[in-house]
Structure 1
Amino acid sequence: MSPWNELRALVPAAGKAPDEAACLAAFPVLEHAKTTPQDPRHHGEGDVWTHTLMVLDELLHLTDYRAASREDQETLFFAALLHDVSKHATTVVDPVTGAIGQPGHSRMGAIDARGLLWESGMPFAQREAVCRLIAVHQLPFYAMADLRGPRPPEFIVRQLSCRLSLPVLATLAEADMRGRLCEDSSRLLDNIELFRELAREEGCYGQARAFADAHTRVSYFRGADVHPDYPLFQEPGSRVTVMCGLPASGKDSWVAVHRPGLPVVSFDDARAELGLAHGRNEGMVAHAAVDKAKALLRSRSPFVWNATHLSQSMRDKTLDLLFAYGAEVEIVYLEQSRTELLRRNHRRDTSLSNKSLLGMLRKWEVPVPTEAHRVVYACGKGDSGADQ
C-alpha cells in the first residue's frame, strides 16, 4: 500500500471515532501537541492535542461533513488533524502576565503540513486544498468583526473564494470552534454563519467570485479601487512568465519547451555570469537580475523570470516590480515527488546539496490563484499544466 493510501485509511466514516494512535504514528510531530499549552480564555480544554481530538470528534458528527464527498471528507479530516501542527513551534509566553500566544501558527502550519503531505504522495490539488484551509482556518471567526477595517468582509470572502471552497472552510471553522471550551464560542459561531451568508450573497459559496476579467481580478486583490463586475482598462505592458518551484523541479526544461526564444531573467544565470557559488553575495546576484528585468519591462518586451520564488515574500518582490510596470503576469509552478526531486538535484552540476534543498522546505509556499493574471500548476508533468 502506498503512503498516501495508508493515510487515507485514517479517515473514518462519518460519526466514527478516529484512531488516535494511528494518527500519531502517521504524524509523529503531533506528539508535541500533547505538551503545548494554550490560552485558557480561548482553549479551556487545555493542551493542543486535546483540542485537536475534540475538533475531529465535532467534525465527524457535523451534518455538512456527512453530506460532503469522500474527497472533501479526506480534505477536512487532514486539515482538522493538522490545523495546529505548528503551535508547539510558535508558542510564546509573556514573562510578566503569563499570557500564551501562538502567533503565525496558521501560516507556519500550512508550510509544515505541505512538507508532511508531499512526502506521503497526497495528490497535489487535494494537498493544496488542505494547506490553504490550514493557512486561513481562523478567518471565518473574525472576518465579520471589523466592517470598516482595511480588509472589509466582502473583500475577504471574495479573495478566499478564489483560493478554496468556502463551504469546506466554514465546516472546518465550525468544528474548530465547537471543539474547544471558549468564553465567546456562541458569538464566534454566529460569525461563521454570517460568513456563510455573506458568501451566498456574493455568489461565491461553493465557487469562485466572478470577476469581469483577469486584470480586474488581480488589480482588485492588489488594492485597486475597482468593482469585480466592471472591467478595468489594462495598459499594454510586458507579458511575463514567472517560474516558481523548488530547485530541480524542471523549470529550465519547461522554459525551453514552452517559452523558446524569449529572454530569461535568472538568478542562476546572473550567479554564473558573476562567478559566484549558490548562497554567496546573493544581493549582487539579485541586483543584476532586477536590472535586466527593468530594461525588458521598459521596452515592454515579453520575457521569462526564472527563479525558485518559493515563499510569498520572494514572489511579492518580483510581482510588485512587474505590476508597477503594467506587466501581464502568468505564474507557472512546477513540482516533483521527493524521490525524483532529490535524484535530479544529485545529478545536476550545482553547488546546492540535497540537504540544503530540503532545508528550503521551511519557506515553501505554493502560489495561489489570486497572485497573478493566470496561475498554472504543472506538477510532475511534461505538459503545460492546468489552471486552478
Structure 2
Amino acid sequence: MNMKTLAALVPLPGAQADYQACLLAFPVLERAKTTPQEPRYHGEGDVWTHTMMVCDEMVKLADYASASEEQRFILFFAALLHDVSKADTTVIDPYTGHIGQPGHSKRGAVDARVLLWRAGVPFALREAICRLIKVHQVPFFAVSSATLDATRLVHKLSWELDIRLLAALAEADMRGRICADQASVLDNVELFRELAREEQCYGQPRAYVDAHTRLEYARHAKGHPDYPLYAPQGSKVVLMSGLPASGKNTWVAREYPTLPVVSFDDAKATLKLRHGENDGAAAHYTVERAKELLRAKAPFVWNATNINPELRDKALDLLYRYDAEVNIIYLEASFKELRRRNGARDTTLNQASLERMLHRWDVPVPAEAHEVQYNVD
C-alpha cells in the first residue's frame, strides 16, 4: 500500500467507493463486519455497514463536491477510518445487553495515524484525517451541551483542524445511520457550523491578538481573543516531541548548542537505568532539574519523546505554572527510516518496544503551546 494506491480509492463526488479495494488497503476494517453497535444509535447494524453508509453520504455532500483534491482525500479517509477502533473498544453490558464503544474516537485517531504513516501518507494530510477522527462526534452535542463552552471549543478546534471538514464528517456520520434522533442531531451540526461562522473560524483559525492570550483562553477560558492579557515573564522553553530515533538529539545539538538540556534519557543514563527500568525515578530527576531552571527563569530545552498526551500535558502544566513561554518542536521520520535509525544506534530500546509506543502516539496540536513547529523528514 502506498500513497498512489490510496489516492486512487478516493471517489469523485456522487460516485460510490470501491469497498473491496478499501478492505484490501486496510485489512483491519474486516473486523468491522462482525462488530455490533447499539441499535438505538445504529439501527443499520454492524460497524462496516455503517462505515459504507457514511462514505456513501460523504460523497453526496455539497462540501465534498466543492472540496479540493486534497480535502476530498482527507474527508474520504476520515469517513472510512472514523470508526476503525470500534472493534477494540466494544463493551457489551452483561445485564442489559447495551453496546458501547467508549473512547473509540480517541483510539481511532491513534490507530489511523499508524496505518497512514506506514502507508506513506504526507504528514499534513495524515494529521488532518486523524484530528477529524479524534473529535468527529463533537458537533453532535457541542452547541446543545449544558456543560461545554461551545464558543471556546470552536475557537480551540479552529487551531487544530478545518471546522468545515469536521462539520462535513459529522453530517455524513449522522446521515449514514438509522436512529430516532437523526434530525435533531443534524440540526446540532448545522448550529455548530453557524457558531463557527459567527466566531470567524469557519475554514480558518480564530484570530487572536497574541499567542499568550490564545493559550490562556484555550487552557483556562481567560480573557477574550481580541484583548491582550498580561504575559508574565518566565523561562523560554523548547519542548521536544517525537518518537525515539526521530532526530531529537541531533536537532537539539545543532539548533540549541548553548542551552541547558533537561532530558529523561540523560536522567536514566545518570541514574544508570535501562529502558523501562524505574522510570519514576528518572521522571522525578528530570522534573526537579526543570524546576531549578524554571525558578531561575532560565531558557532551556526539555528533550523527551512527549508523544503520550497525558505525560506531555503534565510537562506543559508544570511549565505554565512557572509562566514559561513554550515552543514545541515536533520531529518525525518515515516508518522505514525510523526502524533503520533505531536499529543502528546504541540504545536499550528494542524494536518491539518502539512498536508498542506507537499505540500512545499523539502529535502535538497548535493550541498546546505559544508556538508549535513540525519538522518532518
Percent of counterpart pairs with the same letter? 61
Shift of 1:206: 0.7
Q: SS of 2:372's equivalent?
A: strand
Output the CA distance in 1 between the equivalents of 2:219 and 2:167.
Answer: 25
Output the CA distance in 2 between the equivalents of 1:316 and 1:64.
Answer: 34
The AA in structure 2 aligned to 1:314 is L
Equivalent of 1:225 in 222, 227, 231:
222
Partner of 2:128: 129
Partner of 2:97: 98
Partner of 2:162: 165
Shift of 1:261: 0.7
TM-score, length of structure 1 as denominator length: 0.96
Shift of 1:225: 2.2
Consecutive unaligned residues of structure 1, counting only runs of 5 or more, are 381-388
Partner of 1:76: 75
Shift of 1:126: 0.6
Shift of 1:113: 0.1
Partner of 1:383: none
The AA in structure 2 aligned to 1:352 is L
| 2:267 matches 1:267 | no
| 2:52 matches 1:35 | no
Partner of 1:361: 358
| 2:343 matches 1:349 | no
Task: Report if the CA contact (8 A) 2:152-2:221 is conserved.
Answer: no
Output the CA distance in 2 between the equivalents of 1:23 and 1:313.
Answer: 33
TM-score, length of structure 2 as denominator length: 0.99
Task: Report if the CA contact (8 A) 2:31-2:87 is conserved.
Answer: yes
Shift of 1:226: 1.1
Partner of 2:331: 334
Output the CA distance in 2 between the equivalents of 1:28 and 1:240.
Answer: 42
Task: Report if the CA contact (8 A) 2:29-2:48 is conserved.
Answer: yes
Shift of 1:314: 1.1
Taking the TM superposition and a 5 Å limit, the aligned residue runs for 1:272-311 are: 272-311=269-308
Taking the TM superposition and a 5 Å limit, the aligned residue runs for 1:195-274 are: 195-274=192-271
The AA in structure 2 aligned to 1:12 is P
Taking the TM superposition and a 5 Å limit, the aligned residue runs for 1:49-68 are: 49-68=48-67
Shift of 1:92: 0.3
Partner of 1:13: 12
Output the CA distance in 1 between the equivalents of 2:283 and 2:373.
Answer: 25
Equivalent of 1:319 in 298, 316, 321:
316
| 2:370 matches 1:373 | yes
Deviates more, 1:104-113 or 1:354-363: 354-363
Q: SS of 2:209's equivalent?
A: coil
Partner of 1:3: 2
Task: Report if the CA contact (8 A) 2:32-2:48 is conserved.
Answer: yes
- Equivalenced residue count is 377
| 2:45 matches 1:46 | yes
Task: Report if the CA contact (8 A) 2:156-2:218 is conserved.
Answer: yes
Runs of 4+ in 1 over 3 A off after TM superposition: none
Q: Per-residue CA shift, 1:176-211, capped at 9, x if unaligned?
A: 010000110000000011001100100000100111
